[in-house]
Structure 1
């Protein structure tokens, strides 16, 4: 339906082309999306940065290496594209998923500016290509550069680490003492990654940092309950009573966890 309406448009802009290509890709119709990209170029429309960011993941999924290489050459021909963080991120992701890690590293190193997404993409690239140790080194470099990690960073770091203890030690050794926001990001990554052991450690740190926050106690108790560690659930309940922590209305009741 959307493609039919697009075909009926008397005038099209680069924005309308981008929207249609993106819609096809999101519907799992990558081949059609890439075909529309070629059609767009044939009709004299020059891709903008949004086009490149949309099309590069399509190329990675289809293994359309030549198209991806054309996009990189096209991007390198313009200062505007060379300075685009989003295009650089997309190129790093494309090359890593095509197994060309050295090219991904070259693009990353040559980026004049890097966002947390840039670092995440490169750390993920290392893990994806079996270079977990290099991913961990990159994470350490990232934190030394003052870039604050987010949930996605820790998902990539967990993929790079051999075991949960390694990830925990890595975070504890960061130049700046990890705050509640950072441990919260790690917790989100643990949920995505299914790492209950590290999730428990993260919530325990949150309880220590924010002893007044009832939500942290409920999270910790939930984790213990999932592992049927009822003695620990009881410890959390006792701790809340000793610290006069009130359970927030609407949250899971600790009594219901047994």
Structure 2
């Protein structure tokens, strides 16, 4: 099973033609179950402290990410945006938020966000820095980042880029660098997330990938069968990434409403 995206209804920085604030546009308002749960928890905590979670960006399609990248290249925006395949926005795992709406220092928000497994992309809580507004719920894709930090793989420009690619593959979206080997790359990323060392995440099924599959009893399995099996393991291991595991999250805050599509199970 691929990681699903949920539709969310959440305040945005945008206004309509009458100057009235509106919710985040639907094309942007999608997130993984664990990111959605994290946003609901953060929104509730902020509300209790008179702040609000107000977003400018959440999910980006391939085309949206390309436009953001081109805007950066053409100096229409200052903050760096990678080309498609390199952003957690594309995996439904990154949000850009309004810092003034938080009604707290960035230092304090970092502490609050960490409680919900949400992390910043910058290294210091300095609101004057580009991307001070950007936060991510990386989930098991942090495992891929750490895998590359430990030099178990070496074919990405940075460990972060490997983690972002893994997050995008997990929702079934194409990552260009893998060409026609998208399923192979999905399989490898899932294996890494589940603790297997397979060398580079590159879409090439080599000795180490085959050894990992053999250890799972999948020697000789078709690509589709192997992928389905390993994705099932990932789903069982990282349950909160595939479904909202606590239905009470729906009542956490009036600021964030989770709308579950039919293929996502909400259970207590």
Which TM-score tier does this pair reach, normalised by the shorter chain? under 0.3
Going by fraction, where is strand more abundant, 1 or 2?
2
TM-score by length of 2: 0.27
TM-score by length of 1: 0.27
Pick 1 or 2: higher relative contact order, CA cutoff 8 A, min separation 6. 2
Larger gyration radius, structure 1 or structure 2: 1
